[in-house]
Amino acid sequence: MKIVLTYRMKHNWEVENFLTEHQKLLQRAVNEVWENATWKEKEVKHRYFIGNGEYNYYETTRLIPYFPKSNGFKRELRNKLLKDWPFAKHYVDSAIKTAYSILESWRRNYLKGRRKRKRPLVKRKFVRVKTTLMKVEGSGIRITIKPREKYLELDFSGEWFYERIKDWKVGELIIRESDVLLTFSKEIEFNGRIKIGIDSNLMSLDVYHPEKGWVKVDLSELHRIAETYDGIIDGLKSIQRKATKRITRLLKKYYARRRNRIEDFLDKLAVQLSREFPDAVFVFEDLNKSNMMKNSSKRFNRRLSSSTWSKIVQKLSYRVPVEFVNPAGTSSTCPRCGSKLKSRNGLVECPNCSFRADRQFVGAFNVWMRGLGAALSGDEVDDLLPGEPGGELRLMNPKSVVRVDLMGRAFTQILPENSRRTDPADGII
């Protein structure tokens, strides 16, 4: 498995003209591919919520774009872009690759209804530098801008991240107006690791470990930090017109404080999770906030928008292997018979086989199962429930509830006082 890390480094290069020319080149590449796209009509199904868990369905005809990807077209495009290009030819190849990435990203959002049928515009100035345009010697990198005429040089040995990546391989760079993004990669073998399922919730991460059982990671402190600063920021915004300059300075200060405190919490959460489960592959749901916000209350959507699930995953991925599974039905599928569960007061119950359990526990367990590649059907109990004698899965409180220790290096154990207590016999499969 390859782990890739990216770090930012300031520079004082005079690259304004280079970046501007590359921005124009990239826009030309986007324009050429866009103008040669083929649009085809396709019947698309839609649905809208009508209440009580029911939807109405309808069909429309949409125009779907298909971008030319033949080698002949790309060769012709490259020759066209090379005309009057004053810098190294490899930057044209990089621009073509970036143009396709931009258009594919636009296409995915267009198909989801988030973009209109308008050509993407390149607004930011940046250049992706291929490894063929770099010469790496130790911690020094020489970048070719114009062969035999202009080069850029940098040395990252004095940077704070040097000790972390001094034995890693240097990858592509991204040059921006005032800094450069450096990427480093390293192949790491993960053999014989246990997979654990993570159910991401607003106030907790619920972990299912096949040996340690259900572990709940309390995130209430993280949300307290976010809501405290959101309250301060909202109060300042309401009086901003009375003293614009002063309130603007205060807003900038509190935005920075909020960001720094949340980043500090997430860094410690990632460290302590990786130490709590050092030999595990973390399996997360591939969540989409936009879909979750539909048909929800304004208060819930605001809390959801401030959730930091993607950042948690990002920070964990620097330390441990991470996998994603489809989130559909993980908290509403019976792990015994595969029927749809009914939810009430945080408990879920199967109308088909009478299975009862905590909703968050079921979510973590089903994510774990999906990470193993097993369908959530429950046809073969012994296969679905390895690690439990006789294939039994019992309703339980969390084996442990842990909280991030902001002053230490490991989780703090807390008593699950508020955990739901029920008869264990109710949950036997």
- Provide the pLDDT for residue 304: 59
Retrieve residue 7's tokens. Answer: 């770090």
At residue 306 the predicted structure's pLDDT band, cuts being 50, 70 and 90, is: low
- DSSP letter at 215 equals E
Backbone angles phi, psi at 117, to 5 degrees: -80, 65
Task: Tell me if 338 sits within 8 A of 355, measured CB to CB.
Answer: no
Which residues are 39's β-sheet partners?
A: 65
Cα 262 to Cα 265: distance, rounded to the nearest angstrom: 5
* Predicted confidence (pLDDT) per residue in 147-201, tens digit: 999 999 999 999 988 887 888 899 999 999 999 999 988 876 655 678 889 988 8
- Percent share of the chain, pLDDT over 90: 36
Q: Which of 37-41, 51-55, 320-324 is predicted with the least confidence, judged by mean pLDDT?
A: 51-55
Q: Is the pLDDT of residue 376 over 90?
A: no
Predicted TM-score (pTM) of the model is 0.54
* Predicted confidence (pLDDT) per residue in 9-34, tens digit: 999 999 999 999 999 999 999 999 99
* Predicted confidence (pLDDT) per residue in 193-202, tens digit: 788 899 888 8
Q: Which long-range contacts (CB under 8 A, 24 or more apart) does 306-311 make?
A: 306/223, 306/226, 306/230, 307/200, 307/202, 308/222, 308/262, 308/266, 309/200, 309/284, 311/266
Q: 289 in helix, strand or coil? A: helix
